[in-house]
Every structure is written in structure tokens, then in C-alpha cells.
Structure 1
């Protein structure tokens, strides 16, 4: 009688394990093929059923599902316990659902329009809207209800029976107490029962925008800084290297030999070099820090937006090159209206950047150094953060920080090499900026 060696036994066990693994893989592959085959056949049918069932299910409101569930439970309890009371309750609930079904049928032939007048208002001014509904079909349409979302609210209108070609209009007021971008629409016609068990809606219009601009004040000419730029404007400062020729002077040791005017030098017998008038440009960077934690309240945030918009509109009117931005991106500066429209989209942000300096650094990575950088911040911004942000630019860039603080006294102070302006109300801004310019 012979016995297998341990090595041969291990090889036999390994071979059996490999065969079992291969068999399991084959079974798994076969199951996967069958599953894919079934899925490929069932999925189209499921999608087709879903396209037909979902619109029907969507008609049932939350209250309708509760009533349907109550009817089912009542019927089951009536059959199980034999109580007639549950049978009456179930029959009543089912009858309510059956009656509600009759209210969702029917076709509507409406032509609906929404108008807002005006489309742009200043916060606090009045804005009116107009909803027109006409019957564009050849048959009368029954009374219906129209819903019109306006901002965070909703306006409900009862539309009477309309003969073919008839039209009715409804007027509504839009709340404009605060700066906002208000969306009106879409207008929805609602069919359903009085209890709200079933509800079928049709959309008739798209959304339209109402811009509620922040309040602004007129400012005097801005105090514009200048940086050296060959494509800028000529100044009275004399330099040895630029484009705008000024005069000739006698050569001095250390002058660039390329600036020697050889024809004049040959005529006078001594080396003469060119002098130029320096060209500089004016470019304003207007940044609004929308970090929520740096503002004491929502009213202070709105004051900051109004300050930023006032400065931006004045600079655009002066046709000075400007770039306006906030954490949400760059704002349009082609016209004051474009800037005010984009200011309506500004909302508080939370933790978008680790610091004010990092926000400004990332926002200005691909643009040249500005001649004047104006940053609008909230009252909770710390002085160390403001100093660090001002250090982003070189000495040619003037920096002004405008801090809005409703509880502080208006004042002008120095913060490192920056000018710090504290504003508590919007009417103070023109006087403070004029003093900063001087």
C-alpha cells in the first residue's frame, strides 16, 4: 500500500481548487449573460410602461395618495373584521377619488402671456405684472385656475369660461423691497377637484426675469491711480525709455547707448541721448467680498452691494477701464445697466476661499496689475486680512478698502499703505471718496 507524498497531495488539492474556481467563473458568466439578455428584453417594456404610467401617477396629489391608502385599509379591515363602518368609509373614499377623476379630463386651448412693467426697477420702487389668457381654440373652455410663481411666492388666478377668441387679463404686483433677481413663471393651468385629490397641470409660458437693482448714489470723478504701460496715456514724467519722445540731453555715463541720437551728436560734436515722456494707464479693479461670515447682518450685506454698484457705475460712466468681480465670477461692465443686472445675482457665499487674499489672488491671476484696486468688505473683516490682501500688488497700485459697518462712524484712516474708508450709510459714500481722492 502506497501513500501520496505531502507535495503530491498539495498539488491535487490546488488542482481541485482551480477547477472549482473555473467552474464558478463559468457559472457566473452564464448568469451574467442571462441577466443581460433578460434586462435587454425587459428594459424597453419597462420604459414603455413607465412612460404611460408615470403621467397618470403624477396626477395624484399627496392628499390623494393618503385617501387611496385609507380606502384600501378600510376595505381590508371591513373584509377581515366584518365591520360595516369600515366598508362605508372605504366606499366614501373610493367615491371621492372616482368623482375627482372627472375633473382632470379635458383639453385646454389657451394662449397665455406674461408681461412685467418695467423689467428693471430700483429696490423699493413699484413693479406690476400682467397675465393674459386667451382661448385660441374653436370651442369654449371651462373655468380653470392659473398658478404663477413669482419669486418665492405664488399668485393664483381664477380664469372664467372663455368663448372662442375671448381673452381675459389679470394684474398683479411684484414685491421689490430688496435687491433681487425675481423669476416670474412659468404660468400653469390647473385641473382638479375642489378637495385637491387629483391635480393635472399644463405649462404655458417660460420664466421671465425682473431685475431689482440696488440703490446707488452719484459720485464725483474717481481718484484713479496709474501704472506704467507703453499703451497708456502720456504723462509729464520724464524717463529714458518709453515711446513718446520729449527732448534731447547730453549723454551721461550709464545711459543706454541705444538712446543716442547719432545725427544730432555728429552735428554738435558731443553725444546726445533721447528723453521720453512716460506713458501710463488707468485701470480699476473693483472687488466685492461676499463671504457671509464677514458681514454682521443681511442689511449690511445689501449696503456693501450698493456701495460696490455705485462705484462701478460711476467708473463706467467715466469710460475708465474697469474689472468688477466677486466670488461668483466676473461681472459685465459694458454699461451701468449690465453691471446693475449682474449685481442682482450676488448672494452671500460660505467658505468659498480660505481668506480674502486668496480670493483676490485667484480672481486676478490672469489679469495685469491694476492702477487702483478697490475692495468692498463687511464689518467683520479683520485688519490683518486687509493688509495681506493689499500686499498682492506692487507699489504702483493704489489700494482702497471700503468697509461697510452700520454701527460705526464714517471715517478715513490709513491701513498700511492702503486707504481704509468706513461707510455706515450709502449717502456718506460720495463725501468719503472725494476726501480719499484729495
Structure 2
């Protein structure tokens, strides 16, 4: 018994080698068959695909049951099964008659307006014009709207005639709602066969977040007009710093002639470098930093309110999230992009990593605003603040649904707690 066990152990690698060789041969045969049959299959599918695509899932079930009943009836000699098979296959033949016919439509989807705020009323219009020379037959039109599907029954339309259908678009939450494409459907009432024709491209409706109107310059927290002065010394700027002896290559426009005449040494002006105000808004969309989806929606509204006012003030701005950077060349573009913000899973190890990666290609900011949910603590806010120099002012907005508005300071960092959107304007007045 003790000698038999090693013999089996020695045989096992050989068995594995044979099994591996068999798998290799099977893979080679499969690749050969694929290369030989693949081109013919693609050609056949090019012609058969549209035909087979008209069969609905219910139609395939009826077809398979009909074939099975026919075979079983022949083998068993049961006339009842043959009758059932004839009924099922006959239903498919009758349904095929509903697929014939062609409509000549000009279909238009209109959304009025194309951009709304959460809760506003939005209406859509489906316009169907018969551009053919004959009276169209009654039909059916389907229009996907968001996650729903609107169905319209089309009557017979005279040549150059028009048929309008109105529909309401739900706007109870921030989103980008896609309406379309509009497709006409031909088929039987049982839904066995179905032929569709696409008439339009999808149209987007932007449901913007609710925003609060802020005081001018409040969103930017910037009090200067020409820019913020830094501690960097330069030879060409606005803020005068000091005089120094002339060096070859200096611009003679900045020679201070009075001092040069008094001292007998050619003196030139030095300046403190100033830069135009640049604001950066950082909002995390990682779901672990928000208590609820409603808290995240409030954070998006805070970001949108700040960004909209900064753009109106004409201050340069960047808005970044974990997933993408928002456009900021206009208020409308920024709000459109904010409609696409969604909660995501973990993308970065820490909030500091997220802020560093998303802002490393942006211009150096003079003001930084951090927007996050109630699950982000002061330590995380401080870690993000450490990324920016002393010339940048950093303000954190901690969104906690239902909390009392307050302003706290942690090691010099101002943390503003927002419980509802109406708290934002009055809280910013206290910070400035």
C-alpha cells in the first residue's frame, strides 16, 4: 500500500500534461474553425440579422414551441400536438403580414425649455409630418424619456399632414434626461414580430440643481481689483517694492532717474509680483463622504451656487471633482456639467491624493474652496489645505443636512457647516 501511493503521484504530472495537450489541440481546432467559418457567418448575418431581429422574445418562444410540438406530434403520432404546432406557426405567419408597409415621416422632438431647474415644469412635443405622397396607415411611435418609455398611437395622416403629441418630462431631481430616439413600430397585437424604424437622434434636457443667489464678490472672497500681491520679487509688475542698482539687461523704462541723479548710481525699480485672482473649487463625489444622496445633492447645489456667482463676477475659476473637470466659461455650461455629477466609489486613497491629482495641472489659485459631505473630517480638510501655498486662502464647506449653520476654525482653516441651501448667503457674509 505504501508503494502504490508514490506511483500514483508520479503518474499525476503525466496526466496533467496529456490534459494540457488536449486543451491546446481543442483551442487550435476552435481557432481554425472560427477563421474558416467567421467570414461566411458575418456575410450571412448581414442579410439574416435584420430579419431575425424582427422576432421578439415572445415570438422566439412561440416558434420553438411550435417546432417542438410539430416534431413531438410526428414522432408520437398525436394529432393534438400537430394541431397545436399548426396554430402556433400559423400565428407567426399572420403576424408577419403586419410587418409590411413603409411610412415616410419627418419626425421632430422639441423640448421647451431645454434647461430647467429641479421642480420646474418641462414639456416635450413630438411632431410627425407625412412627407410621402400617399395617406399613411395608422401606426405606433415609441419615445424613450429618461428611464421611462412614452408610447403614442399615430392615426392615418394625409400627405403633408401633421400630427402632434405632447408629453411631460419629470424634473423632480437633478439629471440629464435623454429624450429619444423616436422609433416607429410595426407589428402584431400579440407582440410576436416587431419592426422598428429610427427617425430622430436623442435630445438632452438638463435639469439644473437649485442654486442660491450670492452677494457680488462674496463667492470669491476676493477684495482686490488688480490681483493679489505675493512675496515674489519681480522686475516688471504693478506693486512697487524697492530700488536696486542697475544691472546689464534691465529695462530702462524702470530706471528711477531722481534717485539715480541724487546718488550718482543708476537705480531701477523692483516690484512685488501680483497675479489675477484665481479660484479653485474642489468637490468630492466619493460616496463614502456623504451620509445620504440628499446630502450629496445639497453639496452640488453649494458648488453650483459658488461657481455661478464667481463666473458672474468675472473671476477666473476651475471646478474639479473625482471624475472630471467642469466647464466654467459660462454659467450655463457649468450648470450643464453639474447635472452629470453622480456619486462614485473609491477612486483615490485619501482626499489629499484626490485634490493633488485633480489640481496639479491647474493655475496656482488665490482662493481654494473645498466642498464635501458630513463624513469628511477636519483632518481631511487640513490635509487638502496643506497642498497650497501660504498665498492661497482655503475655505472648507462641510455639508450636513439639517445642521445649524456655523463657522469654525481648525488650525487657521475656516470650516463652514451648511445645513440647507438658504444658509449659504448669510454664512458667507459672516466669513468676509
What TM-score do the two structures reach when normalised by structure 2? 0.84
Q: 1:323-402, aligned counterparts within 5 Å?
A: 323-402=318-397
Contact 2:230-2:391 within 8 A present in 1 as well: no
Q: Alpha-carbon deviations, 1:192-248, whole Å to 9, x = none?
A: 1000000110000001111111110111122646799xxx93679999755347779
Q: Secondary structure at the match of 2:176?
A: strand
Q: 1:10-21, aligned counterparts within 5 Å?
A: none
Q: Secondary structure at the match of 1:342?
A: helix
Per the alignment, residue 122 of structure 1 pairs with: 117
Deviation at 1:257, TM superposition (A): 6.6
Partners of 1:262 and 1:305 in 2: CA distance? 53
Per the alignment, residue 427 of structure 1 pairs with: 422
**1:268 has 2:268 as partner:** no
Contact 1:78-1:84 within 8 A present in 2 as well: yes
Q: Alpha-carbon deviations, 1:281-305, whole Å to 9, x = none?
A: 3110011111111111111111111
Contact 2:219-2:306 within 8 A present in 1 as well: no
**1:190 has 2:190 as partner:** no
Q: Alpha-carbon deviations, 1:88-125, whole Å to 9, x = none?
A: 21111111111101011111111111100000111100
Structure with higher Rg: it is: 1
Question: What RMSD, in angstroms, separates the aligned Cα atoms of the two structures?
Answer: 2.9
Closer/same/farther in 2, CA of residues 320 and 248 from structure 1, 3 Å limit: closer
Contact 2:418-2:424 within 8 A present in 1 as well: yes
Of 261-270 and 117-126, more deviation after overlay is shown by 261-270
Q: Secondary structure at the match of 1:121?
A: strand
Contact 1:217-1:310 within 8 A present in 2 as well: yes
Closer/same/farther in 2, CA of residues 417 and 66 from structure 1, 3 Å limit: same
Per the alignment, residue 23 of structure 1 pairs with: none
Q: Secondary structure at the match of 2:352?
A: helix
Q: Secondary structure at the match of 1:426?
A: coil
Partners of 1:234 and 1:75 in 2: CA distance? 86
Per the alignment, residue 209 of structure 2 pairs with: 214
Q: Secondary structure at the match of 1:233?
A: coil
Q: 1:102-251, aligned counterparts within 5 Å?
A: 102-220=97-215, 221-222=217-218, 224=220, 233=226, 241-244=234-237
Of 302-311 and 324-333, more deviation after overlay is shown by 324-333
Partners of 2:239 and 2:344 in 1: CA distance? 52
Deviation at 1:43, TM superposition (A): 4.8
**1:68 has 2:49 as partner:** no
Deviation at 1:178, TM superposition (A): 0.8
Partners of 2:371 and 2:133 in 1: CA distance? 60
Of 99-108 and 235-244, more deviation after overlay is shown by 235-244
Contact 2:286-2:343 within 8 A present in 1 as well: yes
Deviation at 1:277, TM superposition (A): 5.8
Q: How many residue pairs were aligned?
A: 398
Q: Secondary structure at the match of 1:369?
A: coil
Closer/same/farther in 2, CA of residues 87 and 414 from structure 1, 3 Å limit: same
Q: Secondary structure at the match of 1:285?
A: strand
Deviation at 1:353, TM superposition (A): 1.5
Deviation at 1:262, TM superposition (A): 7.7
Contact 1:226-1:280 within 8 A present in 2 as well: no
Contact 2:239-2:274 within 8 A present in 1 as well: no
Closer/same/farther in 2, CA of residues 79 and 434 from structure 1, 3 Å limit: same
Closer/same/farther in 2, CA of residues 366 and 246 from structure 1, 3 Å limit: closer
Unaligned runs of 5+ in 2: 1-24
Partners of 1:141 and 1:277 in 2: CA distance? 77
Q: Secondary structure at the match of 2:165?
A: strand
Deviation at 1:83, TM superposition (A): 2.1
Partners of 1:238 and 1:401 in 2: CA distance? 25
Partners of 1:246 and 1:354 in 2: CA distance? 42
Partners of 1:239 and 1:324 in 2: CA distance? 27
What TM-score do the two structures reach when normalised by structure 1? 0.83
Contact 2:318-2:362 within 8 A present in 1 as well: no
Per the alignment, residue 10 of structure 2 pairs with: none
Partners of 1:409 and 1:114 in 2: CA distance? 45
